[in-house]
Amino acid sequence: MTVTIKDVAREANVSVATVSRALNGQHNVAEAVRRRVQVVAERLRYIPHHAARSLSSRRTRTIGVVLPEVHGEFFSELMFGIDQVAREHGLHLLVSSYHGDPREQGDALRSMRGRVDGLLVMSPYDDVDGHLADALAMLPNAVLISSHLSLPGKCRIGIDNHAGARAMVAHLVALGHERIAFVSGPQGNHEAEERLRGYRDGLAELLPRSAPWVLQGDFHEGSGERAVQSLLAGPSLPDAVFAANDMMALGCLSAFSAAGLTVPVDIALAGFDDIPLARHVPPGLTTMRVDIAALGADAMRRLLAPVGDGQSDDGLRQPQLVVRASTGMARVSPDSS
């Protein structure tokens, strides 16, 4: 039914070895023969069978991408950056998400065996039972994104969440806010915990008299809405709400709006990540820019870089403060002499 390399060889009066060499651009083929083979292959609409090729060549030209989930703008941006570099190199992407479940993550990783030449793994969760380390040990080269773990021989790439959260607190304090509530990310998520730690440290340093005010969230929009609803049900509102990511900040915004509160007039709001919508949603969300697409692209380039090329440089990327209208203007105008 489907045409194989044998059919091409027969039609072109050469051996299958020659067909393989001709089509793969090897140099030890007479140009006339190569042309003939190409013409025949074209006419027969021959497409090499991938599994056969990768079984014998031990290469798949595919990179596996294992993510906590595929939902939302953050992952969309990350995939975008990864995809860019992949297509520059003619590589395919095998995508798998594990829904925050460590066991599923292990399965996802294991099932990549023999399917990929390399792996990009985003794993912000604690590797409590060592599933991740185990699975990774027997897989080809991998780059870890936003991971807690440092695995021997594996390169890691991430962002400085602690410094970022601290910088945002500093920004809010500089605007004169004193009661700053924080909507956290999910527990056990290393990025979420670093952001929380940055918030606490920033507060302790800059507003030592102000106690931390933390509302539990989970990085999804809905938890931002619920956090605001619980604030509205309380005795008083904070001056500012700092959400541990933009998705939750959007949820907060929506809940404020539903309650008739205007950001930033009635309350200031800040997020983290700078997803594309942060700039598009009125009034414009102040946030810490991570450049998610660049993070994905860099991870991919790292994976493709020759081994030994400064592999496990663990340098964290510094997020940048992006001030938009949602944090408003200074409440207490500073001495501007």
Partner DNA sequence: CTGAAAGCGCTTACAG
Determine which residue in the list 35, 43, 52, 137 makes contact with DNA, applying CB under 7 A.
52
18 binds DNA (CB under 7 A): yes
Q: Binding partner of residue 33 among DNA, a copy of itself, none, CB under 5 to 8 Å per kind?
A: DNA
151 binds a copy of itself (CB under 8 A): no
Q: How far is the CB of 89 from DNA (least distance, A)?
A: 17
CB 114 within 8 A of CB 88: no
3-state secondary structure of 237: coil
How many C-beta atoms surround the C-beta of residue 88 within 10 A? Answer: 12
What DSSP string runs through 70-95? S-SHHHHHHHHHHHHHHHHTT-EEEE
Quote the Cα angle for 158-316-217, to 5°. Answer: 50
56 binds DNA (CB under 7 A): yes
Q: How far apart are the first and last CA of the chain?
A: 84
93 binds a copy of itself (CB under 8 A): yes
Q: Binding partner of residue 71 among DNA, a copy of itself, none, CB under 5 to 8 Å per kind?
A: a copy of itself
45 binds DNA (CB under 7 A): no
Question: Scanning the structure block, which residue is given the tokens 């070895």?
Answer: 17
Positive or negative, the Cα torsion across 179, 180, 183, 187?
negative
Q: Which residues bind DNA (CB under 7 A)?
A: 2, 4-6, 13-18, 20-21, 23-24, 27-30, 32-33, 46-49, 52-53, 55-57
Q: Which residues bind a copy of itself (CB under 8 A)?
A: 2, 45, 47-55, 60, 62, 70-73, 75-77, 79-80, 83, 92-97, 110-111, 113-115, 138, 221, 250-251, 253-254, 257, 276-277, 279-284
